Amino acid sequence: MPPKKRITIHDHAAEASLFKRRALFTFVCVFILLSVLLSNLYQLQVVSYKDYETRSNDNRIRVVPTPPSRGLIFDRHGQLLAENQPYYSLEMIPERIKNLDETFDKLNEIIEISDEERQNIKETLKFHRRFKPLTLKNKLTEQQVASFTVNQHQFPGIYVEAGLKRHYPHTELMTHVLGYVGKINSRDKAMLEKNNNWKNYAATKDIGKQGIEKFYESLLHGLPGHLEEEVNNRGRVIRTLKVTPPTPGQDIYLTLDLKLQQKAMELLAGRRGSVVAIDPRDGGILAMVSSPSYDPNQFVHGISSKAYSDLLNDKSRPLINRSTQGQYAPASTVKPLVALLGLDERTISDRTRVWDPGFWQMPGVERKWRDWKKWGHGWVDVYHAIIDSCDIFFYDLVYKVGIDKLSPFMAQFGFGESTGVDIFEESAGVMPSRDWKRLRYNQPWYNGDTISVGIGQGYWTSTPLQLANATAILANKGQRFTPHLLKSFKDDTVKIDTPIDEQPPIEIKNPKNWDIITEAMRLTADKSRFTDAKYTAAMKTGTGQVFSVAQDQKYDAETVAEHLRDNALIVAYAPFENPTIVLAVVLENAGWGGVNAGPVARALLDEYLLRDEWTIPSE
């Protein structure tokens, strides 16, 4: 008998309730998902529109920085000292070269490509995008450019690229003042990043390395421009959308006088030494020459290791700026300042006389400090002590004054500290004191140390710039200016003069003492190099010992090695009544200051003061 069918009774109310619950749940889920979708769309299209538009454009538009042209450098009369010259390089688009070796062989018939250059190019290609330019050769000559241009149709994918590079037309003449520019290295990049300035150098390959080029880098460099290029997904350029030109660097004018600089270098004639000339009316440096020098242009394109090693190992040290880094015993050139201290302290007067038998002894001491004149000068007052450079007079004076007054007095004239000149390469020299010797040598100060320092020897060292600056202060009778090289800069089309940095003057107890010392220097000039000059000058020579000679020995230049011979020095200024130029000349191992440095000073003052366009101020 077949089984009975089971009869199911539907509960329509329950089913309807279940359906409603499921439909509501589904609707809620769909609503939530739609809400999330709409929310994301709103976030993308409205809230984050700018952000994603920028990202999209970054993928489509490439911003390429363009370098600014570097500012030019001129002397005070507008003579060009540093310029930008066009340079040419040979560039290649690798993807357009079918056979690289054949191309090199063919190209070598026009422009020589060495085996080393070939190998370097092949190594670089391994990591180089083939549609981007690659440099084959730098520093093409005009003849090479012309030869290639005529045959360029034979070399698809190779072309000549032009640019600007720094050039110094006067080569060795201005090296230690201007410095030079060179390729940006890792140290330069780190410094730029530290100063948040790296973005301004994104398109620049060179940066100031020394001298004016480095000190005024912010003025000379300028600001980069940029190109906006549309590129495809592989980075290939499709078209140029926008061009923003760079802002060129500002031209600057220096206080230097090119003719005077040339004359100083001519007079040094390759000898080791330095010449510094200052305008005492404002502290502007008229000439700053260090010899021997070197051609800074070789650093612009990258100096070879051998050439740099030769400069570095040269015994004459051409890389040193002797004007600001050379440290020499000032010798007798500072005797006028020592005499001024004696007058100011009333240790001596203009009527004081000291007996000079050719030697001087400290009370209770057997040692004899000798004068340069073996038989002495007899009775000497302050005028003749400066004119004849009598050592005995100053031995006696500094013994009475003492180092504790001498050192701080000389510090007022800038000895022992940087002058503040606007280049970074400067030494402070040494103005010794008790504390200095204790810190340096852990030794006490002896009276014998004072005697040597009193005639500009011993521990006392100074740079030629410090000597010129101190003499300018003396010529100004206490008025002081910070020595500087920048005269003005050109902002768009207007030249703007830089402010003069005048420092508080040196005040002495009796201003008439200035006149006593300057008159003694005038008499010194009248008696020697400037007897027949058409202007009135003041001067003081010096002969600086490089090594100490025992009191029972005699210095003989003929038997002494050249590098141990005395240095020749002179400081001078003119016109005496209203000084417009102050000089300091140092010649290494040249001997007597008056005989060797004197003619240099005379020729320079003649060059500057006796030009046709120059008028000597009247009294």
Residue 30 CA to residue 503 CA, distance in Å, equals 82
- Is the separation of the CB atoms in 500 and 481 below 8 Å? yes
Other beta carbons within 10 angstroms of residue 370's beta carbon come to 16
- Is the separation of the CB atoms in 241 and 228 below 8 Å? yes
- What is each CA distance from 520 to 146, 181, 202, 524, in whole angstroms? 66, 46, 59, 6
Cis before 444? omega within 30: no
- Is the separation of the CB atoms in 221 and 250 below 8 Å? no
371 is in an annotated binding site: yes
- Is the separation of the CB atoms in 257 and 608 below 8 Å? yes
Query: Residue 69 has what DSSP assignment?
Result: P
Catalytic, 332? Answer yes
Residue 341 CA to residue 147 CA, distance in Å, equals 72
Task: Give the three-state DSSP class for 263.
Answer: helix
Task: Give the three-state DSSP class for 298.
Answer: helix
390 is in an annotated binding site: yes
Give every CB contact of residue 29 below 8 A, 6+ residues apart in sequence: none
101 is in an annotated binding site: no
Give me the catalytic one of 274, 332, 389, 407.
Answer: 332
- Which residue has tokens 């940006």? 184
Residue 471 CA to residue 115 CA, distance in Å, equals 59
Chain centroid offset of residue 144 CA: 35
CA dihedral angle for residue 215, residue 424, residue 410, residue 576, rounded to 10 degrees? -50
Helices assigned H by DSSP within 133-273: 142-151, 175-178, 186-194, 211-215, 217-221, 258-268
356 is in an annotated binding site: yes
- What crossing angle do the helices spanning 391-401 and 335-344 adopt, rounded to 10°? 40
- Which strands make up the sheet holding 237-244, listed edge to edge? 61-66, 225-231, 237-244
Catalytic residues: 332
Annotated binding-site members for Zn(2+):
356, 371, 377, 390
Q: Annotated binding site, which residues?
A: 356, 371, 377, 390
